[in-house]
Structure 1
């Protein structure tokens, strides 16, 4: 049922946020699309100004909101852990003061007992900060999200497109559980206002647990009809790998390094209880790749 109160989506112009706003509006919700530059916003919903780094700017967009989606992170800067933690503290304090009834956060997969990378550690810290307030939080944890414009997918697409053969680091044999962006949006929209989703953490993923080499091979087969020769070597450090990515893709070195640091950690779904609340089978990786290629380009 559509919410009678406004729903706030932070990061409304981003890879996930823009799609989520579209879905929530289609579902009949009154959506506030939060952005630092509302005058430039041309998507659905009502554009509102807000900046998670400025607590005062959050008061107006959160006023009267029942459910708020937190979809903000700062991988493109070296101090992202500190920046993201401070932003989460601003958001949870303002949401609490404004009477928000549910925060929905998209975090990262990874076992609690693993030695998490800075990227995943930051996602988990933001999760804890959001949970530290009185507003019930619903957390969805995902690994690689496959869709046009997503950083992880763009790396895969451009590697397959630009290189006739690939030499990959040892971490490329680490398993992950990719998920189509359509399924991420379905899960995000599906937990809105659901009492049984409050104060819970859900793992979301597609049906395939693959290593990065397998993902590159499938993407090559779907996109070009043929496999790329791929050789794994042990000598590419995360720093060298980030320079390698910057050389053959348009992903900047800082973002590439922060992502690569997470790629030697296995991130697979161990609990599928999300399906009790949002039923339906997620699409497989090959279909996710087909959809991403069909959509093409970058979504801003």
Structure 2
């Protein structure tokens, strides 16, 4: 990832959610690019990754002061999908983070949100992502938003659902959302975008949509993961499978908890594809195709087992 940003533009950057699926990769890329990286975590003593661990909890607004003091920019990669009342939790956390960023005069907040048309009947998950965008900005701190759909990479929740369904089932009787269109993106490409908008004057205060080069139905994603592993996966959609039943079905055949599964399944009824590709002019690079992203994710999983 080095070379995405000139090291002469060294910044002090806070990464909230820096121990997560995207965050740990982002922290490594920022560190490699020469930035002073602070990884915000509730357990700093147990952190052994790139950058410096600092204590902070978005649920404890006072803890944000020290973590954010002197930061030029702050990434917000936090969500509470595993909680039943995730909308309320995420709203309070985003408001507190935005308020503190404004008080500390942080020059840029960068938030990874979710794709989906605003005029669509968005799921609670995607509505919450929109609300977080607004709350981060309400105190006046400049916010850059990157909206993504399914992120393909080892350890990502949506990717793990896809991989485990293919791994555990010889055939699938599935809900009708398998015919919904989506635009998956490789996790490495997400990180390139996140690094690329940092300190970028063209990105301040803007909302961007990011996706890979392939627009696919969920069923296509599943069958292509199977093909990458030399499998054949028959899929039979069944319209009567409700979101509630779908989430319980996921919990039986994957290790994703029922609450997280329900929140993600609700979103699968929404078409999540890029309508505005203006990010390509601001942060240009060659995107990774879905099949290559799948192979990389599978290789990474094998390497860490």
Separation (CA, whole Å) in 2 of partners of 1:36 and 1:184: 25
TM-score normalized with structure 1 length: 0.97
Separation (CA, whole Å) in 2 of partners of 1:297 and 1:107: 29
Separation (CA, whole Å) in 1 of partners of 2:173 and 2:147: 30
Alpha-carbon offset, residue 236 of structure 1: 0.6
Partner of 2:112: 106
Alpha-carbon offset, residue 4 of structure 1: 3.9
Alpha-carbon offset, residue 298 of structure 1: 11
Alpha-carbon offset, residue 297 of structure 1: 6.5
Output one character per residue of 1:63-94: Cα deviation in whole Å (capped at 9) or x when no partner.
Answer: 00011000000000000000000000110111
Separation (CA, whole Å) in 1 of partners of 2:285 and 2:99: 35
Is 1:48 equivalent to 2:36 in the alignment?
no
List runs of 5+ in structure 2 lacking aligned partners.
Answer: 1-5
Contact kept? 2:251, 2:257, Cα under 8 Å: yes
List runs of 5+ in structure 1 lacking aligned partners.
Answer: none
TM-score normalized with structure 2 length: 0.96
- Quick one: which of 262, 271, 287 aligns to 1:282? 287
Is 1:271 equivalent to 2:266 in the alignment?
no
Residue 34 of structure 1 aligns to a residue whose secondary structure is: strand
Partner of 2:258: 253
Contact kept? 2:10, 2:34, Cα under 8 Å: no
- Quick one: which of 56, 64, 73 aligns to 2:70? 64
Contact kept? 2:41, 2:57, Cα under 8 Å: yes
Contact kept? 1:148, 1:297, Cα under 8 Å: no
Output one character per residue of 1:236-294: Cα deviation in whole Å (capped at 9) or x when no partner.
Answer: 10000011000000000000000000001101001111111111121111111000000
Separation (CA, whole Å) in 1 of partners of 2:30 and 2:289: 24
Q: CA RMSD in A?
A: 1.2
Q: Give every structure 1 segment of 4 or more consecutive aligned residues whose post-TM-superposition deviation is greater than 6 Å.
A: none
Partner of 1:231: 236
Structure-to-structure mapping, 1:21-36, within 5 angstroms: 21-36=27-42
Alpha-carbon offset, residue 133 of structure 1: 2.1
Output one character per residue of 1:15-62: Cα deviation in whole Å (capped at 9) or x when no partner.
Answer: 010000000000000000100100111101000000001110000010
Contact kept? 2:185, 2:212, Cα under 8 Å: yes
Partner of 2:206: 200
